[in-house]
Amino acid sequence: MLKGRCCCGAVRYEVDGTPRHSTGCHCSICRRTSAAPFVAWFTVEPASFRLVAGELTRFRSSAHATRTFCTRCGTPITFQSAHYPDEIDITTGSLDDPEQVPPKAHTYAASALSWVKLADGLPVYPDKRPEQC
């Protein structure tokens, strides 16, 4: 079982599903909502994600996407797309042990910042993730 939390510790969650689609996303919306050059995510079925403490605030970051974050400290926690209703993406960096779910690829690299140099040898995709990630 994976466990995670926000920066201030008010939000805690557990994940009991098998992570898939583990990627580093370079899209401009992920960058803006996290204030980071890219965000590492992994995907599970929504029923596998359980909030065990605290509250999450939801907001729509695009016509099809909803994101959540800690109400107190603002740590981004999840992303859900209407295009993929059977999935919830969770920020890898919010895990207690992010080493458990390393990225397997980089997505939306066409939007990557020019000063980010990827040298990890992972596959790089200009757009959305392929199904095998």
List the CATH number of the domain containing 56: 2.170.150.70
Taking only the tens place, the pLDDT of each residue in 77-105 is: 999 999 999 999 999 999 999 999 999 99
Q: What is the mean pLDDT of residues 37-60?
A: 96
Q: Is residue 23 part of a domain?
A: yes
pLDDT for the residue 54:
97
Total domain count, the chain: 1
pLDDT beyond 80 at 35: yes
pLDDT beyond 60 at 133: no
Structural domain of 16 = 2-111
pLDDT beyond 80 at 131: no
Q: What does the DSSP assignment read for 34-87?
A: HTSS-EEEEEE-GGGEEEEES-EEEEESSSSEEEEEETTT--EEEEEETT-TT-
Q: Is residue 124 part of a domain?
A: no
Q: Is residue 50 part of a domain?
A: yes
pLDDT for the residue 128:
81
Q: Is residue 21 part of a domain?
A: yes
